[in-house]
A and B are shown apart, each in its own frame.
Chain A
Amino acid sequence: MTTPTLSIRDLTVDIPTRHGVLRPVNGVSYDIAPGEILGVVGESGAGKSMAGNAVIGLLNPPAHIASGEIHLNGTRIDHLKGDAMRRLRGKDIGMVFQDPLTSLNPLLKIGDQLTETMLAHLDISAQDARKRAIAALEEVGIPGAAQRVDSYPHEFSGGMRQRVVIALALCAEPSLIIADEPTTALDVSVQAQIIALLKKLCRERGTAVMLITHDMGVIAEAADRVAVMYAGQLAELGPVREVLAAPVHPYTDGLMGSTPLASRGKDRLHQIPGAMPRLDALPTGCAFHPRCPRAQDDCTQDPGPRIADGAGRAACFHPITREAVA
């Protein structure tokens, strides 16, 4: 087996507060292979973005990695500090942010922002960097790239800007891209284009992608595998087709049931009752048990099996077996 591009082992992020320690990411483990797109889904506050920020070292204090390991291309990176982390994350990890309005500096020409990134990490001249900036813009589908390279961000539409952001993330040729809700701020038709673009470019270059989103449609469209998170823990992890078509964890099943589908007709949309627990008031046992239709006594006592320990696809005592559904 080849070395995964990104390997997270038992990652835990803590935020110490006056009322005790909050744990937005709690013992999460997953791998992303080169060229693979891993979709990370979950409700707001499930710890999706926190896990992403932990990987690139952009956790805002006092949040910090409490335990666990992060390996990038076989090198451990979670304990790197300062300079070493800086050099590494720009070169090897690219990031696509949610809002293309704020993720480009409004006062710098996009060409300057692209060349700044390349000059910081690649050993090339300024002219070469400019040529590559134009090439990068062409690659993400900006028409007239040679002219547009000298435009300011406000001269682009939202979708175009997100293309620029993707070019920016890819231009230093990283081995991993973290896309944190890259399509949330875009309208649906542009969404599909951006996802297709991201998918195509990463396939071509063998870049691994961590695609953080709460949109099941985007996951179905783009991801190879999907990791479902709930209250900081991994609920289910598996190939996207299997997980979406036949969810095993009751939470995933609930999520799928609450996604509007044209094929489902006019039935009322199913809801998961209740809301995700606050991080300072997690229930004992399995964090999902108060909302779980399949919960039994043991769920209220024991946190349940974990995927990393060999529980299989879902971290659940009473996973949905296909016979039960059928």
Chain B
Amino acid sequence: MSPTRYVIVGGSAAGMAAAQSIRELDAHGDILILSAEADAPYYRPLIPYIVTQKKTAEEIALMGQGPYTARDIHVRLNSPAISVDTGARVVNVLGGDAVPYDKLLIATGARPYIPPEIKGVDTPGVYAPRTLADARSLAARAGMARHAVMAGGGLLNLKTSFALLERGVAVTLVVASPEVLSQVMEPDGAALIRAALEKVGLRILTGRNVVEVLAGPNGVSGVRLDTGEELPCEILCIGKGVRPNVEFLEGSGIVVERGVVADEYTACSVPDVYTAGDVAITFDPITGKRIMTALWTNAVEMGRCAGRNMAGHPTVYSGTFGVLNATQVADVPFVSMGIVHTSGTPYEVHVHATANTYRKVVFSEDGKRLIGATLVGDISCAGFYRHLIRERTPVNGLKAEIIGQRLHYGHFIRW
């Protein structure tokens, strides 16, 4: 029997995790990754360190690091897929050649969303940093910039803000919502984070939008807000979410509904085609709703599952929380997962706040299951919260420990 030809479109988290997982189960298959990027696979979440110049491209490379130790995984760079012929079982690559497959993974990820309301986004100095190439360019621009404006108060923009602050650039964050991080927590929890951001020198303007880029001889010279205010700057970073890269699937017969539709085995609507990562539609195990996420950790998990299925080991994907974030903002760590937006919902909510910490735990309406948690300042027990939410474990006698953030592994043992 000739070796199976596995073709993976996309060389980031989902694609590389799938490749690793395939190789662990199939020692002889041909694994080919088609990457649109010019750089070999890297840890995308580390690109802010390229902006700060604290790490080099080699230092954030993925292959050979962490779990990615498998051999004989071939990555073709500069090779964006332009279409898929599921009848002939080939992927057409820009430049002309058709790559045949036995098993195909769609893991093309997503690209930044650029709101059409912002005028002048083609001006040099406007970024929506996503790739290593973007980060290199931003790092160079940071050397000549005094001010940067960040449109959007999400995590990505916060991380880029810190990188630019480190480079000595003054940063103003312009947020449409009443508070930063509105996608991952409610304003009462975000207040502590905002205070930490302001303490390190970030200027934050809420309830406002960037509407126009002002251009000078060296590219961006400022931005205009919807309030009419003008902010001088040499850099604008847009962090307004992402959109899945699905255009090349038109005419392939693979069902796309914004993202690529996957069944519980990560399989698409056409035989032998699978999907994973930011491009895929999956479901939230808490609400059962279909969602798309753009998180490294989720992409890896789904990619590993897809790899197993492609290698002939049927494995159910357990879905993922729409919100699953951990990080540290200045000196404030936070974790946010599951159901975090509760205003106007019937859920049972317990909030405990001190001067330096904020904790919100969310139970189902009947109070029997944990469905969400936001921990700011003190993130101990986070792993247990995730486990309880994900496994839909009845909380029974543990409720007081959950509310009080006093869980430990001993509580999960049957004595």
Q: Do A and B come from one complex?
A: no
A residues whose Cβ falls under 8 Å from a Cβ of B: none
